[in-house]
Structure 1
Amino acid sequence: MSSHRSFEELVREAVEAPVEGWDFSWFEGRATEERPPWGYARSMARRLARASAALDVQTGGGEVLAFAPTLPPVIVATEGWPPNVAKATALLHPRGAVVVASAEDAPLPFADAAFDLVTSRHPVRTYWDEIARVLRPGGTYFSQQVGPASAFEVVEYFLGPQPEEVRGGRDPRRACAEAEAAGLYVADLREARLRMEFHDIGAVVHFLRKVIWMVPDFTVERYEDRLRSLHERIVSEGPFVAHSTRFLIETRKPGT
């Protein structure tokens, strides 16, 4: 088992693994995360098949968008991280999708009422005014988002207890209020708390290198003592268990 390999070997392997895109196949056999019950990629694909013009915001490496068997006649994706822009371009251009390099906190580089569907999986932040602006009347925003205190067992193992305002960030009720303030109405909201298991320290290192906002100052060198202690704990006690939180939100712009 990987947990019986040396700390140095597991960490070296994790540090050398590429972290571009949102392909999590590297974790196979090393970490697991329960999936939300609503099947976001399949639900997104159904909506894309009915759309005439769609935008996928913060597409990552384009993996979720590429899952859809049918794309609308006009399909655009934005992404802010250059390695992901390149990966998404290579994956999506053969499908007829245009990938636009756009910073996550910049206004969306599109005209008003350009799309009848906007999607986003795990956006860093949702700029509701911009979503409402680029949606056509009657258009839909469909998104799976990270919920409050997600994987905080990992975060607090390295950073210590977090203040309540940090733990309570990404509240789905706040998202609903912000959507409504932007002139959208909430058609659906669902929440889930999902079990995660890390079976070796390499999986923890790779996770923190890939999901960089969890422990923003993470390096192996900075946290070596904590990593070694956690490695010994996994070897002696079994997987390190955490819980992710997710919510699904679907909003619509009034009109036809």
Structure 2
Amino acid sequence: MLDTKKLIEMEQKTFTGWDFDYISQRTEKKPLPWDYKTFILNYLKPDDMLLDMGTGGGEFLLSLNHSYNNTCASESYKPNYNLCLNKLKPLGIDVRYFVKDGDIPFSDQVFNMIINRHDSYQPKKVYNSLKDGGVFITQQVGGLNNYLLSQKVLGYPYKDFDQNKWDLEHAVAALEETGFDILFKDEVVSRCKYFDCYTLTYYCKIIQWEFPNFSVDSCLDQLNAINQEIDRNGFVEGQEHRFIIVARKNL
């Protein structure tokens, strides 16, 4: 039987940055067939001006060890932006806040490289922000991500994948139409497992765009049903949809 009080505690637990270590021991996900960081380091030169779109708490950006004077970051989630002001700005990294999805709050033709992991973007804005020959590297969450699990948690289908398609094919077409050359592309859909409803509750509250209007109160019946499934099978299954694109602005 689920402990409702514990579920509510997980629902109310604070999340900042973009670090999922807290739930990693209670989930199982297959590693991606590519390494996002390796692609970046293969193309990034020491003197390049670098922008990390939607940097989260800046954890990944700092792991690149790029020159702070040549590094910029943008973030739209206010708690993470405030975190970056305290963590990145004192290092000399230019951090800027934005509101509109895909916005880039910097001047045009500033960057040699723009990276984007799991944040929205507008191909034209990325193109304009890059210098000639600049590289855009993005890893995206596709439209099939947790497609069935979200329906199981919420009790209704909240999105129609066929009408809101977000996948490698459509993303590549939009970038090519804007004027990018595609240097690399790949896509994967794989299964993932969640081993208890408390971990799942924490995850659903964080990823609000995939589980809109989620709350323990409104979804308690579904959570109890999922808990019974976990008791039977040892886990409840989700689905990860990821794709990566490396694109160069035409000279």
- Fold similarity call, TM over 0.5: yes
SS of 1:65's partner is: helix
2:185 & 2:4 partners in 1: Cα distance? 44
> What TM-score do you get using the length of structure 1 for normalisation?
0.89
Give 4+ residue runs of structure 1 displaced > 4 Å after superposition: none
Shift of 1:181: 1.7
2:101 aligns to what? 105
2:160 aligns to what? 163
SS of 1:35's partner is: coil
**What stretches of structure 1 of length at least 5 have no aligned partner?**
none
2:124 aligns to what? 129
Contact 2:2/2:227 (CA < 8 Å) preserved in 1?
A: no
Overall identity of the aligned pairs, in %: 25
> What TM-score do you get using the length of structure 2 for normalisation?
0.91
Mapped pair 1:154 → 2:149: yes
What's the C-alpha RMSD, in Å, of the aligned pairs? 2.0
Show CA shifts across 1:182-226 (max 9, x none).
Answer: 111211111112321111001111111111101111111111111
Contact 1:51/1:72 (CA < 8 Å) preserved in 2?
A: no
Mapped pair 1:186 → 2:192: no
Residues matched between the structures, number:
249
1:117 aligns to what? 113
Map 1:206-221 to 2 at 5 A.
206-221=202-217
1:203 to 199, 210, 220: 199
2:30 & 2:46 partners in 1: Cα distance? 29
SS of 1:23's partner is: coil
1:78 aligns to what? 74
Mapped pair 1:64 → 2:63: no
Contact 1:52/1:73 (CA < 8 Å) preserved in 2?
A: no
Contact 2:192/2:240 (CA < 8 Å) preserved in 1?
A: yes
Contact 2:176/2:182 (CA < 8 Å) preserved in 1?
A: yes
**What stretches of structure 2 of length at least 5 have no aligned partner?**
none
Shift of 1:229: 1.4
